[in-house]
Amino acid sequence: MIIQGKDVNRSATETADVCIVGSGAAGAILAWEMAELGRTVVLLEKGGYHPRSDFNQNEEQMIPMLYKNSGLQFTLPTGFVVAQGSCVGGSTVVNDAVIFRTPDAVLGWWQDQYKVEEIGPDVMKRYFEKVEPRISVGVVQPYELNRNNLILKEGSEKLGWSGAPNSRNCKTCRQCGLCHLGCYYGTKQSMLETYIADTQSVHGSLVKIYADAAATSVTRSGSRATGVTATVAGAGGQTFNLGVKAKITFIAAGAVASSELLLISGLDVKGMVGKGVAIHPSPAMIGDFDEVVNGHQGIPMAYHCDEFSVVKTGKRGYMIESIFMPPYQFSLPLPGFDYDHKQLMSRYNHYALIGSLLHDENVGTVRLGGPLGSFLEYQLTAADAKTMIEGMKNSVRILLAAGATQVITSHRKKTVIYSEDDLHLIDERGVSPTDINVGSAHPQGGNRMGGGQQGSVVDSFSKVYGLDNLFVCDASVFPTSIGVNPQLTVMALATRAAEHVGESWAKYAGES
Ligand SMILES: Cc1cc2nc3c(=O)[nH]c(=O)nc-3n(C[C@H](O)[C@H](O)[C@H](O)COP(=O)(O)OP(=O)(O)OC[C@H]3O[C@@H](n4cnc5c(N)ncnc54)[C@H](O)[C@@H]3O)c2cc1C
């Protein structure tokens, strides 16, 4: 059952075996897996419930409807945009459907440096294999690559750099190019179309989902979490209180929000909650081509070049990925104002866009305060700044190799590269936060997972240290950033945590 805010006209208290906060990549899977165990679940989702018939492909309406803070979440003091979804299904509803398994090297770091148990590639394979068919993961076919993606392919091949079509969680994609606005055709196999829908049809009597319900605090008695308090944006513009009492509570509100909820609840485990956030900051380079590229028509993210990424090198670096956006989102990072900006936008159909996703260090911090409830403080380290510059230069090289007549960098003051000889301009401009537009859609960390080690917030299976039955399970538990698009890692970790809880139900639920 999905209860929307408009259907709520009084305060109430619910009781269930399990309370879950957040319905994204992790929360939706946790709900399904708990119901599979025969447990009753109340799931609270701050955002609204929007079936795909609501997705009208209009940027002005969809972005405020589906994104946290209408898409305007920035790092301080750097001003990098960090996009996150906020709706039933979470960020999976607005993401690009790109799928990567967690790189083996990254799992190795988690195992060796952070002492996370049972996380090696062989163990995780089982969870990837469980999730992938449920969300219809398949490799993009050559005939599905639009010109924007082919430009990345051709450019990197000319330079001798390795790459491949992406895997995606999409069934018979209609290639409308509007993944960021929710998939009107329902072909993107987001949580909304898969685990949430299946939970409703198979386990409707066990799982109650409240949309428009924001958890405000975790309640507890001694070392046991007793549930969650929430506010519901209810009927007639009124706000109602909702209490949930549960044997086991999972916080799956995503990076930033999960740390915020722990901090608000006075649960700053070892003083580490909110520490160690990474964002995969991704500057994008715009290649201007004589030919019509029409990057907005077709799959926006269908190809990647992994030559400099952890997938190929086993070390931190950057992944170069094709990407494209509808006009409003595309226009935001373009340099200039008024006439200059209009001139640049007039070439929209001739542009190819590629981004370099930086495998960054976990140096960000979530702090309480401000009108949104928390700040995300984040600065590039000197080493990351150097790698970002390298990623920008190699992205430009790809575009030039593919035939771009000029490449516009992501600096705020228009910077144009015409040939290899101009690449020094990128070194000279650097990546000063006041001079660069950087986007992120992958906040990770803040509630680090670790095997008993100082500096972790949750144990190897997502249980919060110091509490018997409170779990945090989402992108916030990654011990390090992962260097590839993270949704499958979140889903696999949620499947693994649910299995663990199922195996030790009596212990965690206080029934033994
Ligand atoms: C535009 C965009 C494109 C992306 N593209 C890709 C891609 O192609 N491939 C990929 O692998 N990853 C992609 N990602 C990232 C990926 O979707 C996320 O990493 C993943 O969904 C994170 O899962 P999560 O469960 O941690 O959080 P989310 O999926 O973000 O879910 C968290 C949910 O919790 C809710 N919530 C927050 N606070 C509260 C509260 N107090 N009470 C109740 N509910 C709350 C939020 O509203 C949200 O719905 C993209 C993300 C974005 C925004």
pLDDT of residue 489: 98
The CATH number of domain 139-170+282-359+381-432 is 3.30.410: yes
pLDDT of residue 234: 95
3-state helix, strand, coil in the chain (%, to 5): 35, 25, 40
pLDDT in tens, 309-328: 999 999 999 999 999 999 98
In this structure, the residues whose C-beta lies within 6 A of any atom of ligand 1 are: 21-27, 44-47, 83-87, 90-92, 94-98, 180, 214-215, 252-254, 257, 261, 301, 441-442, 474-475, 485-487, 490
Distances (CA, A) of 13 to 10, 58, 93, 257, 330: 10, 37, 29, 23, 44
Query: Interior CA angle at 133 toward 131 and 136, to 5°?
Result: 110
Average pLDDT over residues 24-41: 98
pLDDT in tens, 166-215: 999 999 999 999 999 999 999 999 999 999 999 999 999 999 999 999 99
Q: pTM of the entire structure?
A: 0.98
Q: Which of 74, 84, 86 is nearest to 21 (CA)?
A: 86
Percent of the chain exceeding pLDDT 70 equals: 100
pLDDT in tens, 6-16: 999 999 999 99
Residue 363, pLDDT above cutoff 90: yes
pLDDT of residue 372: 86
Cβ atoms of 476 and 25 within 8 Å: the answer is no
For residue 1, how many other CB atoms are within 10 A of its CB?
10
pLDDT band at 359 (very low <50, low <70, confident <90, very high): very high
pLDDT in tens, 376-434: 999 999 999 999 999 999 999 999 999 999 999 999 999 999 999 999 999 999 999 88
pLDDT band at 332 (very low <50, low <70, confident <90, very high): confident
Phi-psi region of 462 (alpha: psi -120 to 50; beta: other; left: phi over 0): left
DSSP string for 324-368: ---HHHHHTTS---HHHHHHHHTTGGGEEEEEEEE---S-EEEEE
Nearest residue (CA) to ligand 1, atom 4: 95
Pocket probe for ligand 1: among 42, 149, 487, the residue whose CB has the most ligand atoms within 8 Å is 487
Average pLDDT over residues 101-127: 97
Average pLDDT over residues 85-103: 98
pLDDT in tens, 433-465: 889 999 999 999 999 999 976 789 999 999 999
In the three-class reduction of DSSP (H, G, I as helix; E, B as strand; rest coil), residue 464 is classed as strand
For residue 381, how many other CB atoms are within 10 A of its CB?
11
pLDDT of residue 490: 98
Peptide bond into 133 cis (omega under 30): no
Domain spans of the chain, in order of start: 139-170+282-359+381-432
pLDDT of residue 269: 84
CA 93 to ligand 1 centroid distance, Å: 8
Q: Which atom of ligand 1 is nearest to the CA of 257?
A: 38
pLDDT in tens, 222-265: 999 999 999 999 989 999 999 999 999 999 999 999 999 999 99
